[in-house]
Amino acid sequence: MKKINVLLSTFFGYGYLTKIPGTITSAVITVFIYIAYEILEYTNLKFSIIFFIFLFFFSFYAVKDAESEFKNKDPRQIVIDEVLGQSMPLILLLYLNQTNKISTSIEIYYILSFVFFRFFDILKPFPVSYFDKNHKNYFGIIMDDIMAGLYSMILIYLISLKF
């Protein structure tokens, strides 16, 4: 089971990239979800939310199990937290698109979702920084990115109200 948890925690090996694995993983998941939602027209919002919730809870177990494979407390190889955080505003985009709350090009929203998430994940404003600094374990690894994803969702939603 540990091999499966390491595989999931590193998002099938993306975490082993030597340069900016978190940013690359965020970009990959953005493109993957764009293809699924916009090109393949997979628009099952309920399944997307249920899958996200399952992945969220399972990630705590997987990251806790996989942590021991790496040397430091917040290993850069673990990028499932980026998948979770980046997915949050993208799932919101599916909802906004289905409810006709997006009046400009959907691609702009995908780009903004990526930029906002990376901005908050890197800059770490409160409460992102709280989880990053005070929980040097699997919980902090995941929750700082969840908070960055939440900030991204808020900005995307506010932009959808204006445009």
Tell if the pTM clears 0.75, that is, is over it.
Answer: yes
User: What is the model's pLDDT at position 69?
Assistant: 87
Q: How far apart are CA 4 and CA 25, in angstroms?
A: 18
Q: Report DSSP state, residue 69.
A: G
User: What is the model's pLDDT at position 103?
Assistant: 84
Could you list the mean pLDDT of each consecutive 10-residue stretch along the chain, which spans 163 residues?
Answer: 94 95 97 97 96 98 91 87 98 96 94 98 95 92 97 97 84
User: What is the model's pLDDT at position 80?
Assistant: 98
20, 44, 71, 150 from 40: Cα distances, Å: 28, 12, 40, 26
Q: How far apart are CA 95 and CA 19, in angstroms?
A: 33
Determine whether 127 is exposed, middle or buried from the number of CB atoms within 10 Å of its CB (0-12, 13-18, 19+): middle
Contact between 120 and 152 (Cβ < 8 Å): yes
User: What is the model's pLDDT at position 74?
Assistant: 76
